[in-house]
């Protein structure tokens, strides 16, 4: 028996005959079911016991499929029968598990022909549990093992298995929910699929009206979102470019301060900026009060709506554009600019004709990020949108509000998804096939051209203004968390902190009395659980994309990067729709939060992994392979140790995102698993600004501490473990050649 076949067969049998096939109530990780009449009780019985008792007979074919691999006994991996058998068994098993999962709905068989075939079912489908999970895994890996034995990807079991695994989870947790959502958009409240109902909702004036152009008061929600996103995209790109230029191309002395300042908004939940904007410019905001006292101008609610959203989102998303653009600005090879100058181009001409065009990919990327972030932003429109409705909040109200219309939410989400995918596609086609690579890998000793003086002063002005505004915003947040009631009672107090984070001691030890502790600890735990999983899935995918060649790799890459263009709001809605019903019932659990974070943040891990893997010479892997290490051993002993910086970056990023995200999880939180951000938004909706701001301040401080800690760890990194201070050990890893 081939050992790997034996292993997966054992896993399959444990799933089928030992663990409960269906999901058990309560926590996925608890084992109380052992005392609930296991293994005979119908609710917690393994599939084998169910079938033996004559229940759920459609699970019986799996017995045969789990026995068939034994035919491969004594056969070698290179035997064609071995591979073909495993492919057939794996595919059939997976297909059957999926069929029994999706074929039965809450009201018996889901399709009429199945009812005709098997007769009425007096039972309903339940969510799948450990047993189904393990059995499905076993079939999946038996299938990939068969493919590898037939010579796929050089016959590499680890690589084929990894590809199969990534494809399966992306299909299950990205594509399946999106497809379910699309199907749901056609569903009427009576549970009938109807195209006319879909078209009616889709073409509604609420979405597409152009009244505001014709002098009316409101435009359609879709146009609002699009307009806001385009303006924010352009503004953040220009500001980010200004920052990047100041940080790299001028003699500006406080560049480090600048870099530090741009980190702040990344670790701040986006809507906190919105809160600060309200505190500053709102009806009782500081600026309005000053204007009213000094000039007698009547305070208005002008900031609620488009102006406020523009200010808040630009402030919040400019750092993202900066981080994208600084790499690009630094990456433009100085010799290109020097060449232009020796060809008689002046500073301006060099900048306009060489530097700027070479930054095109960066500019396109920055715009795309700003556009998507703005489209997906949920917190800011919620707190200061006023009458300016956008898609993300409308989606939310369609689900949680009085309407409770999942079909409408799905339609709105489709419109949102359409916009972001169109932007994604437009960016690709704009960049086209032209190469913008200027670094050849050979030493480049040139010096970047100085900017034209006029441009430089203009940039100083813009950046100065932004820095001032950022400082004011953060100072306001911290200060306001100590103010009793902003704009009414400006006396200082610790009341909000007491209310949220009070700690007391009683006979059981520490008593977390503050109202925020529950969501705070949940957030930390969910973030800590999802960060390593996100990094692992992301880096594994990056390894497959950067280091392996296989059929369908382009489609694979597209699939894994797709969730990058899907706004969080859409992920949230699609998860609610897809995972609220069997066979995968996850709503209300912590797992669904973790899953949404993994697939939301995975593309960043993939990008980071690919970027750093391209710095590691391929001959390192190959030499490990020729020395007799398998691809798994190579991955573990050579690639992972050399990828440490990328791992840390992916970990920090996913941790921070899990702490600050709001758009997806606002749909997924439950009473038991409330997250910090949704708790804060809840407080804002109840007008408890003080607690919301105090909580935000605590979050920012916690995140700063985490980032600082990570910086310390990364900073002490050195190739090799000895503190011998090898010079140049930090540079690109080129096989020490």
Partner 1 sequence: MTDIRGNAASVTFEHVVKIYPGVSSPAVNDVSFSIEAGKLVTLLGPSGCGKTTTLRMIAGLEMPSSGRVLIGGADVTRLPATERDVSMVFQSYALFPHMTVMENVGYGLKFSGHGKSEAAARARAGLELVGLSGFEERLPSELSGGQQQRVAVARALVLEPQVLLFDEPLSNLDAKLRRQVREEIRDIQTKLGLTVVYVTHDQEEALAVSDRIIVMNKAVIAQDGSPRELYDAPASAFVADFIGEANILSCNVVSVADGRAKVSIGPVTITTPARGHAGGPAKLAVRPNRIMISPAGAKNSLPATVRKATYVGSHMEYMVDTPSGAIFVVSPEVDTVHASGQSIGLQFPAGGPVLVD
Contacting positions for partner 1 (CB under 8 A): 78, 151, 154-156, 549, 617, 619-620, 622-631, 633, 637-638, 641-642, 719-722, 724, 726-729, 733-737
Residue pair 220/207 in contact (Cβ under 8 Å)? The answer is yes
For residues 379, 383, 385, 387, the Cα torsion angle rounded to the nearest 10 degrees is 140
Nearest approach, Cβ of residue 361 and partner 1 (Å): 23
Q: Which of 181, 232, 270, 372 is nearest to 662 (CA)?
A: 270
Between CA 216 and CA 203 the distance in angstroms is: 19
Helix (H, G, I), strand (E, B) or coil at 107: coil
Plot region of 628 (φ>0 → left; ψ -120 to 50 → alpha; else → beta):
left
Q: 258 or 719: whose CB is closer to partner 1?
A: 719
Residue pair 177/600 in contact (Cβ under 8 Å)? The answer is no
Nearest approach, Cβ of residue 629 and partner 1 (Å): 5
Q: 626 or 687: whose CB is closer to partner 1?
A: 626
Q: What is the DSSP letter of 23?
A: P
Burial 13-51 (b: 16+ CB within 10 A, else e): bbbbbbbbbbbbeeeeeeeebeeeebbeeeebbbbbbbb
Between CA 132 and CA 47 the distance in angstroms is: 8
Q: 620 or 714: whose CB is closer to partner 1?
A: 620
Tokens matching residue 559? 């699939």
Residue pair 233/371 in contact (Cβ under 8 Å)? The answer is yes
Nearest approach, Cβ of residue 639 and partner 1 (Å): 10
Q: 258 or 714: whose CB is closer to partner 1?
A: 714
Q: 341 or 630: whose CB is closer to partner 1?
A: 630
Rg (CA), the chain: 28
Q: 398 or 643: whose CB is closer to partner 1?
A: 643
Report phi then psi at 630, rounded to 5: -80, 175
Q: 212 or 719: whose CB is closer to partner 1?
A: 719
Between CA 515 and CA 501 the distance in angstroms is: 7
Between CA 10 and CA 17 the distance in angstroms is: 10
Nearest approach, Cβ of residue 89 and partner 1 (Å): 23
Partners of 105 in the beta sheet? Answer: 108
Tokens matching residue 467? 């820095």
Nearest approach, Cβ of residue 532 and partner 1 (Å): 21
Q: 107 or 717: whose CB is closer to partner 1?
A: 717
DSSP letters along 32-52, please? GGGGTTTTTSTTT--HHHHHH
Nearest approach, Cβ of residue 612 and partner 1 (Å): 13
Q: 3 or 251: whose CB is closer to partner 1?
A: 3
Q: 344 or 722: whose CB is closer to partner 1?
A: 722
Nearest approach, Cβ of residue 717 and partner 1 (Å): 10
Helix (H, G, I), strand (E, B) or coil at 676: helix
Q: 159 or 691: whose CB is closer to partner 1?
A: 159
Nearest approach, Cβ of residue 617 and partner 1 (Å): 6
Nearest approach, Cβ of residue 173 and partner 1 (Å): 30
Report phi then psi at 187, rounded to 5: -90, 130
Nearest approach, Cβ of residue 624 and partner 1 (Å): 7
Tokens matching residue 731? 């540079």
Q: 250 or 630: whose CB is closer to partner 1?
A: 630
Q: Which of 240, 218, 241, 317 is nearest to 274 (CA)?
A: 317
Q: Which of 73, 61, 20 is nearest to 42 (CA)?
A: 20
Between CA 373 and CA 313 the distance in angstroms is: 9
Between CA 700 and CA 23 the distance in angstroms is: 37
Tokens matching residue 53? 């008792």
Nearest approach, Cβ of residue 549 and partner 1 (Å): 7
Nearest approach, Cβ of residue 153 and partner 1 (Å): 10
């Amino acid at each position: 028996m081939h050992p790997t076949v034996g292993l997966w067969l054992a896993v399959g049998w444990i799933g089928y005959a030992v663990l409960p096939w269906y999901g058990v109530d309560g926590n996925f990780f608890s084992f109380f079911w052992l005392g609930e009449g296991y293994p005979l009780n119908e609710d917690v019985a393994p599939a084998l016991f169910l079938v033996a008792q004559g229940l759920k007979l459609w699970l019986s074919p799996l017995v045969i499929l789990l026995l068939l691999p034994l035919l491969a006994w004594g056969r070698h991996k290179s035997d064609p029968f071995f591979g073909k058998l495993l492919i057939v068994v794996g595919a059939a098993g997976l297909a059957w598990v999926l069929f029994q999962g999706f074929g039965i709905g809450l009201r018996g068989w889901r399709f009429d022909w199945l009812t005709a075939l098997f007769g009425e079912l007096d039972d309903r489908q339940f969510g799948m549990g450990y047993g189904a999970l393990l059995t499905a895994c076993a079939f999946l890996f038996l299938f990939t093992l068969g493919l590898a034995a037939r010579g796929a990807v050089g016959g590499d079991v680890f690589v084929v298995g990894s590809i199969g695994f990534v494809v399966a989870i992306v299909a299950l947790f990205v594509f399946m929910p999106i497809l379910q959502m699309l199907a749901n958009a056609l569903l009427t409240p009576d549970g009938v699929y109807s195209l006319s109902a879909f078209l009616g909702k889709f073409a509604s004036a609420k979405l597409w009206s152009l009244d505001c152009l014709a002098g009316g008061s409101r435009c359609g929600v879709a146009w609002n979102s699009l307009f806001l996103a385009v303006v924010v995209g352009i503004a953040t790109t220009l500001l980010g470019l200004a920052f990047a230029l100041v940080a790299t191309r001028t003699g500006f002395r406080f560049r480090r301060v600048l870099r530090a300042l741009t980190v702040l908004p990344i670790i701040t939940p986006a809507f906190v900026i919105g809160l600060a904007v309200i505190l500053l410019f709102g009806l009782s905001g500081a600026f309005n009060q000053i204007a009213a006292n000094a000039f007698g101008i009547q305070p208005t609610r002008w900031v609620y709506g488009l102006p406020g959203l523009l200010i808040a989102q630009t402030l919040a998303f400019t750092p993202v554009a900066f981080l994208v653009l600084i790499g690009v600005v630094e990456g433009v090879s100085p010799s290109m600019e020097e060449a232009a100058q020796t060809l008689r181009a002046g500073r301006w001409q060099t900048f306009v004709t060489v530097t700027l065009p070479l930054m095109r990919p960066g500019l396109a990327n920055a715009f795309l990020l700003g556009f998507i972030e703005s489209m997906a932003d949920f917190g800011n429109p919620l707190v200061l949108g006023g009458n300016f409705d956008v898609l993300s909040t409308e989606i939310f109200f369609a689900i949680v509000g009085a309407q409770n219309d999942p079909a409408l939410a799905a339609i709105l989400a489709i419109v949102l998804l359409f916009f972001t995918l169109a932007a994604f596609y437009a960016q690709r086609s704009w960049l086209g096939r032209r190469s913008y690579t200027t670094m050849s890998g050979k030493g480049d000793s040139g010096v970047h051209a100085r900017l034209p003086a006029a441009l430089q002063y203009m940039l100083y002005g813009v950046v100065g203004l932004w820095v001032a505004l950022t400082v004011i915003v953060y100072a306001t947040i911290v200060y306001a968390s100590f103010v009793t009631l902003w704009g009414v009672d400006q006396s200082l107090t610790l009341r909000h902190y007491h209310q949220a984070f009070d700690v007391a001691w009683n006979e059981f030890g520490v008593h977390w009395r503050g109202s925020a502790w529950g969501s705070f600890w949940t957030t930390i735990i969910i973030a800590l659980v999802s960060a390593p999983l996100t990094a692992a899935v992301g880096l594994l995918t990056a390894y497959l994309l950067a280091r392996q060649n296989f059929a369908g790799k382009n489609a694979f890459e597209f699939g894994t990067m797709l969730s990058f263009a899907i706004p969080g709001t859409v992920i949230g809605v699609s998860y609610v729709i897809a995972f609220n019903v069997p066979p995968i019932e996850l709503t209300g659990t912590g797992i669904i939060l973790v899953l949404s974070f993994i697939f939301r943040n995975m593309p960043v891990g993939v990008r980071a992994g690919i970027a750093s893997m391209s710095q590691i010479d391929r001959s390192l892997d190959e030499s490990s392979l020729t020395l007799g290490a398998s691809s798994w051993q190579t991955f573990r002993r050579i690639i992972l140790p050399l990828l440490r910086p990328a791992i840390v970056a992916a970990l920090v990023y996913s941790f921070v995102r899990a702490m600050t995200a709001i758009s997806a999880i606002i749909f997924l939180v439950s009473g038991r698993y409330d997250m910090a951000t949704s708790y804060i938004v809840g407080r804002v909706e109840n007008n408890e600004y003080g607690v919301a701001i105090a909580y935000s301040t605590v979050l920012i401080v916690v995140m700063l501490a985490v980032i600082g800690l990570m910086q310390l760890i990364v900073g002490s990194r050195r190739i090799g473990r000895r503190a011998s201070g090898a010079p140049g050990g930090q540079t690109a890893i080129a096989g020490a050649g």
